[in-house]
């Protein structure tokens, strides 16, 4: 009988050293030694699977990757220093000059900048597709030189949902690699590969760590594809540090219990705010009012830990609301044990034009809440008092 995800996240571990430790130690070393010149030659020739240099691979890196592969259901993976390094590597390892990427328009601000400003410098073009696009509209965006379809679901920050089964079907039909940023859902809530998706990327800085401590990223997918990612990263250097990899691997042991609390509290918060007189609208994947509620029910086991709402009064009201919070944090992260409130239009997506923000539903009054692990009574109380103070 195959073990459950919660067990895999705890029990997928490195082989013990000669000290027979129960908890995997941190391997803070830049390189590894060999018994002979022949052993060293074989290692550098990739004839044997062994540790060589921590820019290539490290035992802490390997444990983290093995855990994530077990949870996401992929053949192989690669760990990077940050989530954006993972997304960049996941693309440029296989997409080059003259190639084309189809992307959902609703993506994280840095991903949007990468697609619109960075990749075009290397001769890579893109086409954006609306988050509400039909299968026909997605297919119409594919060109002869399209190499990848990239998207997030739920999206950041609008928590919109894209049908993974539809995207997987399109990718297979046209022979195009599909790449899903699964940061918001984590493998505990959603497994893109079960819907035919080829590649899964993560900002491990968020829920995988879960306590706002370290940064990291992951690219997970077929073995031959990951080999290309590995080759690119070995030469360009965005590999994760051993300490960060160790921290993230240990953090995964509590992923299941943390996500249960995040999701339960987020659902309670969304429900409490849905009919609040000072709020124009609330969006949460597991609310019946969510426009893609049925898709969320199909591909997610719970609604996640992110809630967004539109304040009555727009930007000016939003600033007063944020400044009135007493318990919740104002910071640039999410997926933390502490509840975080942010204003996407002036932070994560400030580089987008007013038109671009409007196209992805980021209004001046949009507030994003990453619901933490505090008691939900205190979270709701703080938000309600800030709403009252901002009248």
What distance in Å separates the CA atoms of residue 162 and residue 314, rounded to the nearest whole number? 27
Same domain, 245 and 264: no
Q: Write the pLDDT tens digit of every residue in 14-56.
A: 999 898 999 999 999 999 999 999 999 998 888 998 999 999 9
Domain boundary among 254, 276, 291: 254
- Alpha-carbon torsion (254, 245, 242, 60), positive or negative: positive
Range of the domain at 194: 5-254
> What is the structure's pLDDT at 160?
96
Residues 6+ apart with CB under 8 A from 134: none
Of 260, 309, 273, 268, which Cα lies nearest the Cα of 286?
A: 268
234, 254, 274 — which closes off a domain?
A: 254
Query: Are 243 and 269 within one domain?
Result: no
Burial class (CB in 10 A: 0-12, 13-18, 19+), 2: exposed
| 341 and 209, same domain (yes or no) | no
Strand partners, 220: 77, 200
pLDDT one-digit tens code per residue, 319-366: 889 999 999 999 989 999 999 999 887 766 667 777 777 776 777 788
What value does the CA radius of gyration of the chain take, rounded to a whole number of Å? 21
Q: Mark whether 208 and 314 lie in a shared domain.
A: no
> What is the spatial distance between Cα 268 and Cα 274, in angstroms, rounded to a whole number?
10
What gap in Å lies between CA 49 and CA 136, rounded to an integer? 44
Do residue 270 and residue 218 come from a single domain? Answer: no
Do 79 and 216 meet the contact criterion of CB atoms below 8 Å apart?
Answer: yes
* pLDDT score, position 350: 67
Cα–Cα distances (Å) from 216 to 62, 206, 247, 331, in that order, read 13, 9, 10, 18
Same domain for 281 and 149: no
Residues of the chain with confidence (pLDDT) below 70: 347-350, 360
Its sign, for the CA torsion 111, 115, 118, 124, is: positive
Domain containing 274 — which CATH number?
3.90.1150.10
Give the global pTM.
Answer: 0.94
Does residue 88 sit in the same domain as residue 237? yes
Residue 6, classed as helix, strand or coil, is: helix
Residues 271 and 149 in one domain: no
Per-residue confidence (pLDDT) for residue 319, from 0 to 100: 85
Residues with Cβ within 8 Å of residue 267, at least 6 apart in sequence = 284, 286, 287, 302, 303
239 & 141 share domain: yes
Q: Give the torsion sign (CA, 254, 335, 111, 54).
A: negative
User: In this structure, are 236 and 275 located in the same domain?
Assistant: no
CATH number (domain holding residue 101): 3.40.640.10
Q: Distance of alpha carbon 219 from its chain centroid, rounded?
A: 10
Q: Does one domain contain both 115 and 201?
A: yes
Residues 339 and 241 in one domain: no
Domain stop point among 254, 284, 310: 254
Report the pLDDT value the prediction gives residue 312, as an integer from 0 to 100. Answer: 87
What is the tally of structural domains in the chain? 2
């Amino acid at each position: 009988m195959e073990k459950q995800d919660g067990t895999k996240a705890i029990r997928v571990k490195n082989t013990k050293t000669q000290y027979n430790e129960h908890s995997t130690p941190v391997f803070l070393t830049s390189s590894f030694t060999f018994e002979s010149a022949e052993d060293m030659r074989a290692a550098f020739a990739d004839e044997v699977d062994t540790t060589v240099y921590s820019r290539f691979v490290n035992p802490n890196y390997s444990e983290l990757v093995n855990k994530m592969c077990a949870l996401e259901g992929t053949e192989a993976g690669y760990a990077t220093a940050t989530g954006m390094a993972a997304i960049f590597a996941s693309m440029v390892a296989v997409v080059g000059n003259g190639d084309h990427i189809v992307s959902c328009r609703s993506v994280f601000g840095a991903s949007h900048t990468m697609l619109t400003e960075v990749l075009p410098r290397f001769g890579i073009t893109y086409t954006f597709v609306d988050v509400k696009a039909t299968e026909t509209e997605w297919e119409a965006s594919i060109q002869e030189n399209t190499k990848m379809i990239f998207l997030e679901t739920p999206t950041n920050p609008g928590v919109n949902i894209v049908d993974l089964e539809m995207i997987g079907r399109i990718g297979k039909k046209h022979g195009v690699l599909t790449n899903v940023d699964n940061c918001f859902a984590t493998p505990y809530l959603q497994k893109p590969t079960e819907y035919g998706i080829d590649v899964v990327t993560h900002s491990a800085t968020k829920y995988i760590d879960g306590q706002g401590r370290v940064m990291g990223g992951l690219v997970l997918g077929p073995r031959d594809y990951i080999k290309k990612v590995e080759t690119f990263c070995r030469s360009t250097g965005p590999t994760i540090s051993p300490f960060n990899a160790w921290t993230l691997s240990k953090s995964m042991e509590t992923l299941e219990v943390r996500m249960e609390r995040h999701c339960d509290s987020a659902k309670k918060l969304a429900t409490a705010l849905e009919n609040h007189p000072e709020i124009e609208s609330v969006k949460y994947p597991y609310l019946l009012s969510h426009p893609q509620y049925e898709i969320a029910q199909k591909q997610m086991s719970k609604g996640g830990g992110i809630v967004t709402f539109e304040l009555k009064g727009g930007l000016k009201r939003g600033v007063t609301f944020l400044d009135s919070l007493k318990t919740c944090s104002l910071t640039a992260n999410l997926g933390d044990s502490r509840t975080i409130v942010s204003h996407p239009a002036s932070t994560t997506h400030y580089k987008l034009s007013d038109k671009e923000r409007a196209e992805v539903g980021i209004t001046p009054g949009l507030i994003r809440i990453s619901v933490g692990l505090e008691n939900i009574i205190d979270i709701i109380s703080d938000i309600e008092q800030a709403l009252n103070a901002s009248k």
